[in-house]
Structure 1
Amino acid sequence: MKQINGRFDVAILGMGTALPVHSVAQSDIAELIASTLQDRPDLARFARRVFRSCGVETRYTCESNYLDPLETCRYLHSHDASVIPTTEERMDTYKREALPLGVEAAEKALKDAGMSPDRITHLITVSCTGQYQPGMDVLLIRELGLSPRINRLPLIFQGCAAGLKAIQMARDVVSGAPGSQVLVVCVELCTLHFQPVREREALFAASFFGDGASSCVIGQPEAEHRHYLELGSGYSVLLPDSTEDMTWEVGNTGFDLFLSPRIPKLLGTHLEDELRVLLGGDKLPELWAIHPGGRGIVDSVQEVMRLTDEQTQYSREILRTAGNLSSVTIMFVLNAMRQKMKERNEASTEGVAMAFGPGLTAELMRFTYVKAYAPSVKEQDHVLL
């Protein structure tokens, strides 16, 4: 296995994604919410405009109740507060629905990596939309046939940036303990936390979140590996004067999310300097895996970094076809990018991944798409000897 400057290469060797069976057209959700605002025609018009312009066409949900008529849709019922699901009810649904999605994504990632479950040494589970104990990590061990002695690292309630944070944690695990194989599993059921909308601010959060799961296997690439993502340096940074611009708190009827309309502007103000730090003077890479926290966020990154439409296509396509899946989303973007590079038979290409969460936190990481494993010069010399 390749070693550079005393450090072993670490890579995403396989990836998998999963979506619930229920898909909902964005136009249908917009009309459903607008119909709850018959006494607020100004807000109903605003809702239709926000939902139409946010870059989403389809979302997925684990909750079939969203497919019901307004009169029986408990999550958006605005006339009788007693029928709105409590946080306890929502957590019961999460406990029932999260595991199958996580298992599906993990099985795909293991198969894609050519990795048997008994080789996994570490399990990182990620979610900010549900909690229970024993947690999803324990149940995944049983369902996937992982070792009961596996090192478990739950990463909970960290928001949209947590998927990329988990990838960087896994990279550090493998770097510090060569031979480790880390399985990362992210599951988010965002639609369980929809609330009846009565204020403009609530419409932004309601306009683009959906449900899904993603997973990846991270370890050291070997001769048989192809089309993988080699993980480079990265870090987290708290952006200044932004603590209150994204909040996620537990309420009596689910978790309450607030997203400030200032977020795209804040990213535009601070992100370029941080990316220069990350790149350390190197030229801008070709590949850009941007967490599509909303159309405005992708627009802001594209504008400040002077990216082409082709460079943001992966993020925009995931947003369009599935919405923002919180921590899950960045792996959807990376997987779509990797598949397209594979289809085009592209050569190895440098990239940057980024995701954003409460704090405001920016999670930034360099990576390289690698078409085929190539041994280092030292390894080649050893073979010749």
Structure 2
Amino acid sequence: MVPLTLFLSLFCLLFGSHVLAGSSIWQPALVSRSNSSMLDKRYYYVTRDQSLTSQRPWPNRVIRYCFAKETTAAQKSTLKKFLKDARKIWISKGLDSNFRIEEVNDNVCTSEATEVLTVHYREGVLATTVGFPSSTIGGVGPQMFLSDSTEIGMLDVVGNFAHELGHAWGLYHEHQNPKFWAGVAGADGGEVFGPNNPGGWNCDNLKDYYTAANGGLRLQTGGGGFRDITIQQLCSNWQIAKNNGFSASEYLPMPGVGTPHSNGHGENDVDWQSIMIYPSGAGGNSNGQPTPENDNRDAILMKPDGSRIPINLAPSSLDIAALNTMYANVEGTKLDLLNSLTNFKKVYKTSQSGPSGGSGCL
């Protein structure tokens, strides 16, 4: 991990293993709102109270980015094309055209490193800092790791990049909302996901499950020693899974990051069309060559009716509403804080090594 709390959203959940940068994860408190509407179930709302979070939207709705120094000319060309295509998908679905991504030169990338998104090409890895952190550790700013592999995440390059842009602008994973979970640590009485809920929780279908179960992952204690941890703990506790590089951390509910505005706990409260929800096979063992039309990866989560969560290659109307609402009052550099951000979002994992200090995608 790089010395910044990078909480990677293992979107390479065909992945390799999530990449972390930093020693801790920022978990800003969120505020709830009464009179919730259909839109509320999809995203966390904005608070103007700067004491609640260090995260904020991007100034002027513009993500300024540059490429990491090790990126080759060919990789830059590939990444730039797919990033532009990914933004076009968001705009075509109704996102305000003022949401832009703009490349800056190397001088700006160096002099304003904490205020520019650094984009890395990393085979089999997808991970992005969520939102725009207003403070950094060690001078490291927001990061994005991208791959043009079609064997991870949504099994589609542009779809994967569009998911990552959602993180960069400030969206969490839909399926990690504690309101939808029960029977695991951090759950909030949900009726959708979990060991005894109809949507299930097939932790043993994760690609790295048997490695975790048989490989003696160790949890470092506060005293500096180590103790054995069980696969049951790894499959039921987001913090333990995250600390040990186990891909269950890309699914389990994240405690302490905030309260959804909707109090809904049921199937109809989930946005199944969201580009920010993992398809059932993300991170699961493959049975042949998976494609968007035939995702034969083992299912991790399901819909309550027993059908698979689809591969969504474009944002839903609620995804669009989330960003339009969160950025509604952003004027120039006068920013409203986002309640819905942690420092580094995860991507799906495959089963390869990720950037230093972390593990690849799911």
The TM tier, using the shorter chain, reads: 0.3 to 0.5
Give the TM-score normalised by the residue count of structure 2.
Answer: 0.33
Structure of larger gyration radius: 1
Q: Of Structure 1 and Structure 2, which has the larger fraction of its residues in helix?
A: 1
Give the TM-score normalised by the residue count of structure 1.
Answer: 0.31
